[in-house]
Copies of this chain bind each other. A is one copy, B any other.
Amino acid sequence: MSEKTIPYKIYLNESEMPESWYNLRADMKEKPAPLLNPGTGQPLTAEELSAVFCEELVKQELDDTTKFIKIPEEIRNFYKMYRPSPLVRAYCLEDKLGTPAKIYYKFEGNNTSGSHKLNSAIAQAYYAKKQGLKGVTTETGAGQWGTALSMACSYLELDCKVYMVKVSYEQKPFRREVMRTYGASVVPSPSDTTEVGRKILAEHPGTNGSLGCAISEAVEAAAKDPGYRYVLGSVLNQVLLHQSVIGLETKTALDKYGIKPDIIIGCAGGGSNLGGLIAPFMGEKLRGEADYRIVAVEPASCPSFTRGTFAYDFCDTGMICPLAKMYTLGSSFMPSPNHAGGLRFHGMSSTLSQLYHDGYMEAVSVEQTEVFEAAEQFARIEGILPAPESSHAIKVAIDEALKCKETGEEKTIVFGLTGTGYFDLYAYEKYNDGEMSDEIPTDEQIAASVAKLPKV
């Protein structure tokens, strides 16, 4: 198909939106390892998980054989408020870079949560509502997940309690107000409202908090009240399942124009966006139908793929959550206060960890000043102010496009632009003022927290 027929933005019709989520695990020969009960060391049963998660979500969490799971009509209608999201051809960026590469990005930022997080938030809130629950608790790092969940809960009239990583809570007061506008209550974490929070505060006074801490607090808060369950915006199999809408739409849009990507790039914190974006492409790769380079990009300050260990670990700092087998820096690892709050998690999705371990994908880590440099460049050229998290993928997409400029290869690069940076202006201010630094953990720091991994 001729180049010129490809629009700047490929929008699917609503009728072309996926009717089912795609469960990547069904196509994996080596399945991701099961969650373990930290007390018994045995795989968690559906019954055990039901104390924490809604029943339908427990099913989805444990199901590694059903390939397609139907998206309920109510969720599809909610999706239609902000989806399908555009697949954008970065013509302007290509021109400015002078690269023969063709660059596409799937833009998930055009909704008030500012990111892809809404795709799973509405699903999790929907199943909670369907089960007759009163509300849900959760953690949020950058605030995108908390905002998304607030929006979903407000729509379905569910209570929503958010534990927000302290450093983000302080750097992003306006995030708090968005959540409040959507009726949520927001607590900076670690807080003195939970036992685990008080314990962490006692051990690490003045801590900036981390996703791991906030998870512990949210889980404890949910466990205290039978009308509540805990929901999580990343890492879990169920989240990657819901996020497969990103990849499915991307693939449909590319197929519509006969485009075959060579490289697929996504930022990786817990893996929600990356797992969703790559799902159908990885499926083809697993089934031997196609080959793609798939690249995870993580912050050098929290490098679970590139410097972590593939082992069972707690998903939270307070060590009250199940054990997951994943690339991890150790649940006691405290990342430096990098501005990409959404990527400051010590571990990584079990599904993605298994695929990385089995050689199906690559990973690279980048430093935050070079990430903001790419972010500013992208904002000025493509007009979208990107989230720091998303900008990790931008940085590597630009690097790959520049490699093509050197070699003359006309590769097709697809990356996930997970969200906007409207609530990250504090970080941009630091960058604009030349006050941003790169803090990378030493080998000793990582070894110290890895040494505390649970023995399974």
Contact = CB atoms under 8 A, between A and B. Distances in A.
Contacts of A181: 376, 379-380, 385, 428, 432
A11 B84 CA distance: 11
Given A7-B80, A111-B383, A383-B112, A425 B177 contact: yes
Nearest to A432: B180
A83 B80 CA distance: 19
A366 B111 CA distance: 27
A133 interface: no
A436 interface: no
Interface in A75-107: 77, 80-82, 91-92
A9 B81 CA distance: 8
Contacts of A306: none
Contact of A178 (B8, B114, B151, B385): B385
Interface residues of A, number: 43
A257 interface: no
A174 B174 contact: yes
B383 A155 contact: yes
A9 B82 CA distance: 8
Given A383-B111, A383-B112, A428 B177 contact: yes
A242 to B, nearest CB: 17
B155 A381 contact: yes
Interface in A371-402: 376, 379-385
A11 B11 contact: yes
A40 interface: no
Oligomer copy total: 2
Q: Which of A155, A383, A422 has the most CB of B within 10 A?
A: A383
Contacts of A376: 181
Contact of A112 (B9, B183, B379): B379
A385 B428 contact: no
A382 B92 CA distance: 32
B182 A380 contact: yes
B177 A432 contact: yes
Contact of A9 (B80, B91, B177, B420): B80
A112 to B, nearest CB: 5
B379 A182 contact: yes
A110 interface: yes
A409 interface: no
A410 interface: no
A154 interface: yes
Nearest to A154: B380
Contact of A81 (B14, B383, B385, B432): B383
A376 B151 CA distance: 11
Contacts of A384: 111-112
B425 A178 contact: yes
Interface string A53-66: 00000000000000
24 contacts: A7-B14, A9-B80, A81-B383, A82-B383, A111-B383, A112-B383, A112-B385, A154-B380, A155-B380, A155-B381, A155-B383, A174-B422, A174-B425, A177-B425, A177-B428, A177-B432, A178-B385, A178-B422, A178-B425, A178-B428, A180-B429, A181-B376, A181-B380, A422-B422
Interface of A: 7-9, 11, 13-14, 77, 80-82, 91-92, 110-112, 114, 151, 154-155, 173-174, 177-178, 180-183, 376, 379-385, 420, 422-423, 425-426, 428-429, 432
